[in-house]
Amino acid sequence: MTETNIGAPIKRVEDKRFLTGRGRYTDDLNQPNQLYACILRSPHAHANLKKVDVSQAKAAPGVIDIFTGSDMAADEVGSLPCGWQIHSKDGSPMHEPGHPPMAVTKVRHVGDQVAIVIAETKSQARDALDIIEVDYEVLPAAINMDEALSGKALVHDDVPNNMCFDWEIGDKEATENSFSDAHKVVSIELVNNRLIPNAMEPRAAVAQYDPSNGNYTLHTTTQNPHVIRLLMGAFVLQIPEHKLRIISHDVGGGFGSKIFHYAEEAILTWASAKVSQPIKWTAERSESFVTDAHGRDHETKAELALDKDGKFLGLRVSTKANIGAYLSTFGSSVPTYLYGTLLAGVYKTPAIYCEVKTVFTNTVPVDAYRGAGRPECTYLLERLVNKAAKETGIDPVEIRRINMIQPDQFPYQTPVALQYDVGDYPRAFETALKASDYEGFSSRRKSSEDNGKKRGIGISTYIEACGIAPSAVAGALGARAGLYESAQVRVHPTGSVTLYTGTHNHGQGHETTFAQIVSDTLGVSIDQVEVSHGDTGEVQFGMGTYGSRSLAVGGPAVLKACNKIIEKSKKIAAHILEASVDDIDFKDGVYSISGTDRELAFGEVSLAAYVPHNYPIEELEPGLDENAFYDPLNFSFPAGCHICEVEIDPETGEVEITDFTAVDDIGRVINPMIVEGQVQGGLAQGIGQALMEGCVYDNEGQLLTGSYMDYTMPRADNLPNLNVSTESVLGASNPLEVKGVGEVGSIGAPPAVINAILDALSSLGVEDISMPASPSKVWQAIHNAQ
Amino acid sequence: MEMSGEYRIEASRQTVWDALNDPEILKQSIPGCEEIERLSDTELAAKVVAKVGPVKAKFAGQVTLSDLDPPNSYRISGEGKGGAAGFAKGGANVSLKSDGEATILSYEVDATVGGKLAQLGARLIDGTAKKMAGDFFKNFAEVVTESKDLNSTENLNDADTNKVNHDINASKRPKIGVGSWIIGLIVAAAVILAIIVY
């Protein structure tokens, strides 16, 4: 069975249904008597809703009913909650203005919900949207952050200067002192470009209410069904858990954007009771652009103090983070505890101070997107370190070597709250330098120059905190929920196993990885293991999948439940074998009495548990079904080094990535094939951010990059062959010794790409370029420098 | 978007006026126009079906004339609501010059769009607006001349210049005399309608 055990590169079992069109996506589901919903959305970024007249539209063919924000308000529907409370420097809690699922008095971004039409067919619902008459009183909009902070236009009347909170971390005084002792201060200003997530499957929901028992069922495209049940049930609709079932079977990509509790989920669930028929809503792609929470969008100024040998003395960071029109579920935690706490990176910087102002604007809410805070942090640090190298004349490799935390320094306490448990940053770094043939770069550069091209190489190192999170730590930092994970291992009478996990699989391959853990631990063949997830009616509880937490937090829960199974089944085996439980060995699915050839198979013991004719019934209950909850000891800290090599055509500004090397320390690897895929996908997204993707609003708050004509996603032909490998130090925060891999690619890649571009163009005098480094931007930078 | 243009209309004012003063002819000239109504001396309302790239919608447009300085200049502003497709609003400063028997109308338009129109159509708006303006004059000339004696040439300049020049040679059919400003007024109103409803 070793070919499927932990560490084996087996193909994903779930791919069979994905590749043969048998996935169960939300939009695939149709219920008897199902109606269809379309949502009227604001075309204005900021306007008072003076009148919403639905009378004519209600009479349109096929229309069953139409509801507005006022109808929901009349039912005392609550506000969409934020899951993380942040406090400002002065100790005051963040501003949490109301977020009604449908606008009641004001619309606050293009795409904000105004009315829902429910009709017999989707076309009828869509046609009726056109005859709803809305009288908007257009208000000045706050779009860019400086403008918003001036307070001229207020997104929420009760939030002065549109500032949600003004947060800080680190020792300000120690940092100031480090700057006064500095030999050299290097400063940088940069923007982390706003991104629009683009999961292949748009969001969708099917809501159903059963008037005979008062039960609600919502099928929705979420990464965390139990969290949605908690947030929507307890805070928005006041439906108790036992009357509300959330089902999220197959989901076609999330990347963070499907973590959050979205308005449509609450609107549909609420409306399904109004019409007492199931309702389906599926976002059109253009709706996704203006309603799925966006990512990134930071403006940062930072300074690094160095001594005469190039050692970092202090880091000072001031960031403005756009959080859009409303606080999304995790919007407040991303630019704070997932950002400022990582500013040490892999370096021994002794003093760090960071302040973050978060700003409401009349744009789509901004929240976690693959990496969430850590790409923003890494981009800043690695751009700054490269600039320091340039300004001090120290080689970019050398300056990193000088400052890197050494393997004998663990556990390493950073000046920004986190304590790194284990790691070996120089090892991944040196491995990446070798793997990318860093030494041989100058000859490659020469051959590019001979062809009239500019060649550059860029390094990025990173650390990230994932496996969120130790509940007590998260709670102390403002999280309003625990962040443990649960697993239930149900051994059936004949020895096959169903694993119920509280994490959610939407492309990560849990059905394979988790089955490998079960198979390895219980010694059952992998085809005897089924993984169930995504249904609050089946899975006991869970916090879902985000922050690369599934394996680091959900995995140990699986292991723990398996160990409980082993513990109980050994007692059963001991009884049947008439031996002491201490003498029972369990290995590869076989129970034996130590030192004898007397043994029982896994299936024999499980059968005895369900057919307890010969069973220690006084001591043990029948059955073999165990639950476990696991709360991690610490975050886990994947780290690594990414090296990008580019060739640029100075005539066109086109950047070709010729080579990309990623060496990642992600702890124990359960399935190397899945790991490689995860890193590749993350790198593609990181490269997309660096070269192609960028969300643009005009001054009135109209989204100009609202379709694939204007918002560029990376395609296969934009990417080189990715040289991906792991150089792991086993994780110390959990018994599986794993760290997490889902986000490392999108965290490490952007600065590696931009550093490579700047290296290529430095001989032309180009000193800065912003993401996305599109051909026109690169061409312009070249011409501006000349 | 911003757009400016100049039209030289080779027709007597009376002929053009006569045609333009007829809501039915105006309706035939505005691409996609389903209804047009003169609410007062300074207000027009129209319903137009227009398509910008992938967005097709019915727009209810209202146009108001202001700063009237007959026969020299005026400002026209308006707003078109396209339901779920978004909105368009804008204005134009229009001025008229006599040139022998002909009338030269020039305009400067500024317009903004919102909602799905901006999201999907922002990059198509300039082209669409020019096309609609061009279509309007072509249709208009055809209707006015009843397809005879028509010598219409359209010169849609390249996108960079944002300039549209049209020469319209309509037949001369003397009718009741009206100040040339009213011709321009209605032509410009139609252009504005065309622009704000695209």
- In this complex, the residue of A38, A132, A703 whose CB is nearest that of residue B118 is A703
Instruction: Quickly state the pLDDT bin for A121 (edges 50, 70, 90).
Output: very high
Residue A224: its pLDDT value, please?
A: 97
B120-179 residues touching A, CB cutoff 8 A: 120, 122-123
- Give Cβ neighbours of residue A567 (< 8 Å, ≥ 6 apart): none
By C-alpha distance, the chain A residue nearest B87 is A43
By C-alpha distance, the chain B residue nearest A52 is B83
Residue A640: its pLDDT value, please?
A: 98
Instruction: Provide φ and ψ at A119, rounded to 5°.
Output: -140, 175
Residue A477 placed within a domain: no
Written as one letter, the residue type at A306 is L
Which of B47, B116, B120 to substitute to test the interface with A, most A CBs within 10 Å? B116
- pLDDT tens digits, A490-515: 999 999 999 999 999 999 999 999 99
Residue A94 placed within a domain: yes
Is A110's CB within 8 Å of B114's CB? yes
Instruction: Quickly state the pLDDT bin for A248 (edges 50, 70, 90).
Output: very high
Please check whether residues A626 and A701 belong to one and the same domain.
no
Is B113's CB within 8 Å of A702's CB? yes
Please check whether residues A275 and A416 belong to one and the same domain.
no
Written as one letter, the residue type at A405 is I
- Cα separations in angstroms, A780 against A194, A453, A454, A785, B17: 21, 16, 15, 8, 51
All residues of chain A having their beta carbon less than 8 Å from the beta carbon of residue B122 are 698, 702, 704, 706, 710
Instruction: Quickly state the pLDDT bin for B157 (edges 50, 70, 90).
Output: very low
Cα A599 to Cα A577: distance, rounded to the nearest angstrom: 8
Lowest mean pLDDT among A365-374, A412-421, B49-58: B49-58
**DSSP 3-state assignment of A762?**
helix
Residue B11: its pLDDT value, please?
A: 67
Contact A259, A231 (CB under 8 A): no
Residue A624: its pLDDT value, please?
A: 98
Please check whether residues A247 and A109 belong to one and the same domain.
yes
The domain total for chain B is 1
Please check whether residues A520 and A622 belong to one and the same domain.
yes
The domain total for chain A is 3
Cα A507 to Cα B120: distance, rounded to the nearest angstrom: 29
Residue B13: its pLDDT value, please?
A: 60
Burial of B133 (0-12, 13-18, 19+ CB in 10 A): buried
- pLDDT tens digits, A90-104: 999 999 999 999 999
In total, chain B counts a number of residues equal to: 198
Cα B53 to Cα B192: distance, rounded to the nearest angstrom: 19
Instruction: Quickly state the pLDDT bin for B82 (edges 50, 70, 90).
Output: confident
DSSP codes of every residue in A415-460:
TTS-EE-S--HHHHHHHHHHHTTGGGHHHHHHHHHHTT-EEEEEEE
Mean pLDDT of A691-712: 95
Which of B119, B125, B126, B197 to substitute to test the interface with A, most A CBs within 10 Å? B119
Range of the domain at B191: 2-196
Please check whether residues A656 and A751 belong to one and the same domain.
yes
Instruction: Quickly state the pLDDT bin for B125 (edges 50, 70, 90).
Output: confident
User: Using only C-alpha atoms, what is the Rg of chain B?
Assistant: 16
- Give Cβ neighbours of residue A344 (< 8 Å, ≥ 6 apart): A352, A414, A415, A416, A418, A463
Residue B71: its pLDDT value, please?
A: 67
Residue B152: its pLDDT value, please?
A: 36
Written as one letter, the residue type at A132 is I
Residue A149 placed within a domain: no
Mean pLDDT of B100-127: 78
Cα A200 to the center of its chain, rounded Å: 16
What value does the mean pLDDT of chain A take?
A: 97
- In this complex, the residue of A43, A704, A709 whose CB is nearest that of residue B87 is A43
Sheet holding A590-593, edge to edge: A584-587, A590-593, A599-601
Residue B15: its pLDDT value, please?
A: 64
Dihedral sign of CA atoms A758, A761, A765, A768 in order: negative
Please check whether residues A435 and A491 belong to one and the same domain.
no
Please check whether residues A714 and A767 belong to one and the same domain.
yes
Mean pLDDT of A313-340: 98
Please check whether residues A662 and A712 belong to one and the same domain.
yes
Instruction: Quickly state the pLDDT bin for B93 (edges 50, 70, 90).
Output: confident
**Percent of chain A scoring above 70 in pLDDT:** 100
By C-alpha distance, the chain A residue nearest B113 is A702
- In this complex, the residue of A129, A130, A702 whose CB is nearest that of residue B118 is A702
Is A703's CB within 8 Å of B120's CB? no
All residues of chain B having their beta carbon less than 8 Å from the beta carbon of residue A706 are 116, 118-120, 122
Residue B28: its pLDDT value, please?
A: 80
Residue A119 placed within a domain: yes
- pLDDT tens digits, B1-51: 677 777 777 766 666 556 655 667 777 877 788 888 888 877 888 888 877
Instruction: Quickly state the pLDDT bin for B170 (edges 50, 70, 90).
Output: very low
Peptide bond connecting B54 to the previous residue in cis, omega within 30 degrees of 0 = no
Residue ending a domain, among A630, A651, A670, is: A630
For A477-543, where are the alpha helices, taking DSSP H only? 510-522
Mean pLDDT of A579-584: 97
Residue ending a domain, among A609, A630, A651, is: A630
- pLDDT tens digits, A463-486: 999 988 899 999 999 999 999 999
- pTM over cut 0.90: yes
Write out the two tokens for B82: 């396209």
Q: Does pLDDT of B163 surpass 80?
A: no
**Percent of chain A scoring above 90 in pLDDT:** 98
- pLDDT tens digits, A53-89: 999 999 999 999 999 999 999 999 999 999 999 999 9
Mean pLDDT of A621-641: 96
Q: Does pLDDT of B126 surpass 80?
A: no
Residue B109: its pLDDT value, please?
A: 77
- In this complex, the residue of B54, B58, B86 whose CB is nearest that of residue A43 is B86
Please check whether residues A427 and A408 belong to one and the same domain.
yes
The answer to ipTM > 0.90 is no
Residue B171: its pLDDT value, please?
A: 35
Q: Does pLDDT of A372 surpass 70?
A: yes
Residue A462 placed within a domain: yes
Instruction: Provide φ and ψ at A707, rounded to 5°.
Output: -155, 175
CATH number for the domain that contains residue A212: 3.90.1170.50
Residue ending a domain, among A587, A606, A630, is: A630
Q: Does pLDDT of A125 surpass 80?
A: yes
Residue A155 placed within a domain: no
Instruction: Quickly state the pLDDT bin for B72 (edges 50, 70, 90).
Output: confident
Residue B193: its pLDDT value, please?
A: 53
Residue A7 DSSP label: T
Please check whether residues A53 and A95 belong to one and the same domain.
yes
Residue B162: its pLDDT value, please?
A: 35
Angle at A137 between CA A136 and CA A139, to 5 degrees: 120
Residue A417: its pLDDT value, please?
A: 93
- In this complex, the residue of A130, A131, A707 whose CB is nearest that of residue B119 is A707
Q: Does pLDDT of A574 surpass 80?
A: yes
Residue B190: its pLDDT value, please?
A: 54
Mean pLDDT of A288-314: 98
- In this complex, the residue of A40, A44, A709 whose CB is nearest that of residue B114 is A44
CA quadruple A37, A42, A47, A49: dihedral, nearest 10? -20
Q: Does pLDDT of A289 surpass 50?
A: yes
Cα A211 to Cα A330: distance, rounded to the nearest angstrom: 34
By C-alpha distance, the chain B residue nearest A289 is B119
All residues of chain A having their beta carbon less than 8 Å from the beta carbon of residue B118 are 43, 110, 698, 702-704, 706
Please check whether residues A592 and A672 belong to one and the same domain.
no
Please check whether residues A511 and A595 belong to one and the same domain.
yes
Is B123's CB within 8 Å of A42's CB? no
Range of the domain at A616: 2-16+484-630
CATH number for the domain that contains residue B189: 3.30.530.20
CATH number for the domain that contains residue A6: 3.30.365.10
Residue A21 placed within a domain: no
